[in-house]
Amino acid sequence: MVIAVENSMKRTYFDTNILISAFQGKEQIADIALSMLLDPDRELVISDILRLEVLPKPTYHKRQDEVEFMKWILANAMLCVTCKPALVEKAIDFASHYNLHPLDALHIAAAYEAEVDEFVTLEKPTKPICQVQEIKVISIYPQTPLNE
């Protein structure tokens, strides 16, 4: 007899703003972002695009703690989607259909290619990226202003 065990791990692609907020954000949103990034029930999926967005600036500005944090998060990914012509074509499709910013379209295309369970962002739920239907998009944008 064969028993199928369902994988309860969520394959999650985090938008750049989640990683940056986990390190730089206001305490409440940083705590939420960090807890999601460190959730043992999630498998992190990243892309070359995500790496490009989170590593160069802190490297250039010599913010070594931030560089090490980002490298640590990225090193724990179970999959890195590479930027290939087919990914760019899919991103163009998403951008054209949903009026996405080009980098958002690349992130969505990477998440779609990786067949993630969810894409998590800090964008407002009314933004075009949150309207994508092909994958589950979760916004953790605060509904009420954060305490300073």
How many domains does the structure of the chain reveal?
1
As given in the structure block, the two tokens for residue 118 are: 């969810």
Q: ∠ at Cα 23 (28, 87), nearest 5°?
A: 110
6 is a domain residue: no
65 is a domain residue: yes
145 is a domain residue: no
148 is a domain residue: no
User: Is 0.75 surpassed by the pTM of this model?
Assistant: yes
What b/e string do you get for 45-58 counting C-beta neighbours within 10 Å, with b at 16 or more? bbbebbbebbeeeb
7 is a domain residue: no
Give me the pLDDT at residue 143, please: 80
1 is a domain residue: no
Distance in angstroms (rounded) separating the CA atoms of residues 134 and 148: 36
pLDDT tens, N- to C-terminus, the chain (148 residues): 555 555 689 999 999 999 999 999 888 999 999 999 999 999 999 999 999 999 999 999 999 999 999 999 999 999 999 999 999 999 999 999 999 999 999 999 999 999 999 999 999 999 999 999 999 999 999 986 555 4
74 is a domain residue: yes
Question: Nearest to residue 42, comparing CAs of 117, 111, 139?
Answer: 117
96 is a domain residue: yes
Give me the pLDDT at residue 132, please: 98
Give me the pLDDT at residue 117, please: 98
Helix/strand/coil (H/E/C) assignment for every residue in 92-138: HHHHHHHCCCHHHHHHHHHHHHCCCCEEEECCCCCCHHHHCCCCCEE
Q: Which residues form the domain of 79?
A: 13-139
Q: What is the CATH number of the domain that holds 75?
A: 3.40.50.1010
